[in-house]
């Protein structure tokens, strides 16, 4: 498996510094948070896109994907959501990134079947554009659809190879789902896996990998046993927790922890 980290852990850090962190600490790739407060987002121009792609290529570091914020199950008209996804797909194509992340974002007031149908309709429409761009849209296990069982309700309706799943291990755990159940639901659709660690369900402040309660050992053993050969991406949510330790000083230990788990599971 390949290892990456998300720029959510180093908010606002310039791209050359992000690339240097990945190369220095032995990560194969980086997930870029595609938000206007970050250096890379759909609003940047063609020249900036070329420069970003060249920066990563020159260092031998891959751009794993773009973490976007489109909410595919949210109530309302389709056009703005589809436009947001298309902008992300265009950016991913220009950067050579294989994946774009979207959220479910359903409203608690919606009936579940209505939210599922809304998300599936939008993802099905966007899938054709994604195919032309050569990029895959990944629905993250998050918010209204935080488990694999919930996400598959949408993905099963879409039924398109350009639409898959991003497994956030914290959200499936908070939803009470065992890794084996999540994998069984998402395996045919799985793009990559976000790992992290927290102290408890009540305290989700990010911790160094292995220092918390999330079932990382079980997760990696499961993926290895199933011969899954994708990406593990460390999403350290520093952006939302200012008091959390700085990510750069944790990167080497985090990589070593994942490498040990992979070695123990081999």
**Domain at 54, CATH number:** 3.20.20.150
Q: Token digits for 152?
A: 């598959």
- What is the chain written as a DSSP string? -EEEEEGGGSTT--HHHHHHHHHHTT-SEEEEE-STTSS-STTS-HHHHHHHHHHHHHHT-EEEEEEEEEETT-SS-SHHHHHHHHHHHHHHHHHT-SEEEEE----TTS-HHHHHHHHHHHHHHHHHHHHHHT-EEEEESBTTB-SHHHHHHHHHHH--TTEEEEEEHHHHHHTT--HHHHHHHHGGGEEEEEE--BS-SS---B--TTSSSS-HHHHHHHHHHTT---EEEE---GGG-TTSPPSGGGHHHHHHHHHHHHHHH-
Q: What is the mean pLDDT of each run of 10 residues along the chain (266 residues)?
A: 97 98 98 97 98 98 98 98 98 98 96 97 98 98 97 97 98 98 97 98 97 97 96 97 96 96 71
Domain of 159 in residue numbering reads as 2-265
How many domains in the chain? 1
CA dihedral angle for residue 184, residue 189, residue 192, residue 193, rounded to 10 degrees = -30
Q: Round to whole Å and give the CA distance between 98 and 241.
A: 29
Q: What pTM, to 2 d.p., does this model score?
A: 0.97
Beta-bridge partner residues of 63:
30
Residue 84: per-residue pLDDT: 98
């Amino acid at each position: 498996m390949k290892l990456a980290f998300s720029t959510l852990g180093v908010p606002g850090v310039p791209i050359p510094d992000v690339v240097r962190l990945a190369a220095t600490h032995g990560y194969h790739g980086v997930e870029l948070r595609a938000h206007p407060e970050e250096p890379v987002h759909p609003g940047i121009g063609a020249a900036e896109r070329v420069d970003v792609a060249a920066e990563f290529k020159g260092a031998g570091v891959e751009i794993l994907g773009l973490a976007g914020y489109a909410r595919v199950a949210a109530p309302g008209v389709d056009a703005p959501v589809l436009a947001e996804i298309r902008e992300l797909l265009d950016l991913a194509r220009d950067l050579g990134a294989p994946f774009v992340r979207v959220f479910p974002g359903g409203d608690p007031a919606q009936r579940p079947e209505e939210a599922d149908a809304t998300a599936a309709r939008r993802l099905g429409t966007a899938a054709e554009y994604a195919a032309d761009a050569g990029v895959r849209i990944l629905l993250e296990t998050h918010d209204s659809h935080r488990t694999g069982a919930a996400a598959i309700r949408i993905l099963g309706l879409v039924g398109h190879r350009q639409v898959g799943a991003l497994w956030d291990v914290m959200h499936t755990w908070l939803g009470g789902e065992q890794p084996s159940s999540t994998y069984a639901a998402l395996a045919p659709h799985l793009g990559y896996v976000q790992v992290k660690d927290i102290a408890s369900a009540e305290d989700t402040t990010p911790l160094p990998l292995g220092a918390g309660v999330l079932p990382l050992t079980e997760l990696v053993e499961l993926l290895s046993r199933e011969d899954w050969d994708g990406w593990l991406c460390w999403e350290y949510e520093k952006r939302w927790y200012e008091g959390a330790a700085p990510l750069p000083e944790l990167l080497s230990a985090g990589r070593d922890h994942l490498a040990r788990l992979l070695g123990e599971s081999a």
